[in-house]
Chain A
Amino acid sequence: MAAVSMSGRRALYNWRIYLYVLPSLGLILTFCYFPAISAVVRSFFEWQGGDYMQFIGWENYTNAFNDPVLRSSFVTISVLIVAGIIKMVPSILLAVLIHRIASDRWQYWYRVLLIIPMVVPDLVNIFIWKFFFDPNLGLINASFDLFGIKSALVWLDQHVLHWSAFRPDSPISWLNEPRLIIPSLIFWGFPWIGAMSVYIFLAGLQSIGAEVYEAAELDGASSWQKFTKIEFPLIMTQVRLNVILVVIGTLQGYGLQYLLLGPAGGPAGRGMVPGLWMFNRAFIAGQFGYACAIGMMLFLIIAVLTYFNNKYIRVEK
């Protein structure tokens, strides 16, 4: 449907149409744009959250650049971002597998099974994983013992890593051992299937007609070739989109770290990420102005990434 164009007098006569967008507009101006702009302003002030504010210029930013915690938190988040991108692989594979199944009925049931875990609220899911990580009762240690993975890790630790984090005589304490914090944050959620991403990939795969597969089969294409030559190029748009979402989501996320490790980022602060540090500075240390500056830095990084993404990677809609 082409939209009805209106201009000048006719638009003036039909001014009531604006009433339909005004409430939404008012809401986003008040609750999205106004806070964003005031964050810019307040990042130049020393501000404890009360009425009193003192202008200090760039001091919050220079402090941020010299803040060792913030610096190491950016290293941590970079590792988590790379891991997050790699963790998309199972979702892609699962989407391709489901797409290749001949029976429509089974495809439907697998889609249903895929969204069933969504009934568990995110927070509850994180808490269940926190329990899985428990050194004495947790399932991870139990299954690692069962499959002999623990002895492999102990060997690896003694001969290669020299972390002394995996010891033969004591259970692995995933969330209490500084060296294991980042591995735990990465391993969390195994096998890392995002129901929504799988659906998005499946929507992309649906555009491949049966005749494409038939032609590939006649040419004697192996299933790996079908994946690299047909399926993966067709979902490239969705994959890129997902990469962007993962990068942006990981950069601004800190709920997971908060729930698993607490507001200080766990033992030795190894799980500290920039978002959590912002939260920590504002609501625990009371340095609201400094927290705004950290927020602005994150904001700028994400804005630049989004800009380059839109400019150089064309995502056709």
Chain B
Amino acid sequence: MNTPHPTAAAAIRKRELPKHTAVWCILSLQLLPLYMMVQMSVKNNTEFLLNPWFPTAPAQWNWANFAYGIKLIGPYLANTVFIATLGALLTLFFAIMAAYFFARYRMPGHNLLWSLFITLMLLPGVANIVPLFTLLKSMNLLNTLWALIILGFAGGQVFNTFILRNFIEDLPKDLFEAAEIDGASHWQQIINVVIPMSAPIIGTLFILSFLHLWNEFMMPLIILSDAQLFTLGVGLIYLDGEYVKQWGQIMAAFLVASIPLIMIFLFCMKLFVRGLTSGAVKG
């Protein structure tokens, strides 16, 4: 490829500059809460009052804030990791099976079943909360982590089934036929054809489900009453009301609460950006 003429390149740069500036302005405002959280997490209140905006020198960082933050929310973190991981895995497990059923075959009752699924995507869940509470009570699931996992995958699978069905329908038919000739059962076709072929989309959906469960706080607040079982959300809500505010320590606790998400994003950033860009969630 030939390089553009120097003056032409300069002209392009001049035309592009305002766009870049605008994008940076918007994005930096958007990143401000994250920035404030990180830089405040190593300050104490006096340091913050003297210098609210800029980070202090690394030598002055109060690592003790983190020790305190971990002590505050450590147990909640473990509960939330448990719920989000298991919930997201089971969400995809059920969604892949259901999507396989809808994408591969037109069985009698197909349309009725599909409309049962698709209606749920349009119906609001808000009216459910009160009866759901009594349902869980009668199943003896109130004040358990399993209640949150079950609710997570029972509701979450619907959206995932919808996306995966479209994706599986677009897979080449030959793959399934070849597998069938080799005597593969449905289960083996799911393991050997569907999962490898749709790995990027499954990865993206897993992250989305995980995020969703991680961010949930209203349901846990209603369901959990035992401090040992609190998830991050409930724990932080109680912290917000209870403690004399040492903002550095609280921000450190917030940062610790974000660490699992940071890890996921570090490892899966490429996959996630690609999955979303290719239109995994066109809506």
Residues of A participating in the B interface, judged by any CB pair closer than 8 Å: 1-8, 11, 14, 16-18, 20-21, 23-25, 27-36, 38-39, 42, 49, 90, 93-94, 97-98, 100-103, 106, 108, 110-125, 127-132, 137, 139, 142, 190-191, 193, 196, 199-200, 202-203, 238, 241-242, 245, 248, 251-252, 254-255, 258-259, 275, 278-279, 282-283, 288, 291-292, 295-296, 298-299, 302-303, 306, 310, 317
Contacts and interface: CB of A to CB of B under 8 A. Distances in A.
A101 B19 contact: yes
A288 B106 contact: no
Q: Which of B98, B131, B269 has the most CB of A within 10 A?
A: B131
Contacts of A295: 126-130
B5 interface: no
Interface string B229-261: 000110011001000000100110010011001
Contacts of A116: 31, 34, 265
A33 B106 CA distance: 24
Nearest to B185: A16
19 contacts: A21-B113, A24-B157, A32-B120, A38-B131, A39-B128, A94-B23, A94-B26, A97-B26, A117-B31, A118-B211, A121-B257, A124-B236, A132-B33, A199-B276, A251-B126, A278-B130, A282-B129, A292-B131, A299-B126
B252 to A, nearest CB: 12
A241 B122 CA distance: 12
Interface residues of B, number: 95
For the complex of A and B, the 6 pairs showing the least CB-CB separation, nearest first, are: A295-B127, A252-B126, A31-B154, A35-B131, A24-B98, A21-B101
A171 to B, nearest CB: 14
B36 A1 contact: no
A104 to B, nearest CB: 11
A117 B262 CA distance: 10
B68 interface: no
Nearest to B240: A127
Nearest to A110: B23
Q: Is the interface of A mostly helix, strand, loop or mixed?
A: helix
A16 B171 CA distance: 22
B108 A11 contact: yes
Contact of A31 (B126, B127, B150): B150
Nearest to B212: A122
Contacts of A23: 94, 97-98
B36 A139 contact: yes
B124 A252 contact: yes
B103 interface: yes
Contacts of A139: 32, 36, 52
B31 A1 contact: no
A3 B105 CA distance: 5
Given A18-B107, A30-B135, 9 more contacts: A21-B98, A25-B98, A25-B116, A28-B117, A102-B16, A115-B269, A278-B126, A282-B130, A295-B128
A124 B250 CA distance: 10
Interface of B: 12, 16, 19-20, 22-23, 26-27, 29-34, 36-37, 48-49, 52, 94-95, 97-98, 100-108, 113, 116-117, 120, 122-135, 150-151, 153-155, 157-158, 161, 168-173, 176, 186, 211, 214-215, 217-218, 222, 232-233, 236-237, 240, 247, 250-251, 254, 257-258, 261-262, 265, 269, 272-273, 276-277, 279, 281-283
Contact of A27 (B153, B262, B282): B153
Contact of B170 (A1, A36, A255): A1
Contacts of A35: 128, 131-132, 135
A285 to B, nearest CB: 12
A275 B155 contact: no
A73 to B, nearest CB: 13
A251 B33 CA distance: 26
B176 A1 contact: yes
Contact of A125 (B33, B48, B169): B33
A32 B154 contact: yes
A6 B94 contact: no
A117 B37 CA distance: 11
A177 to B, nearest CB: 20
Given A7-B108, A11-B107, A255-B217, A32 B258 contact: no
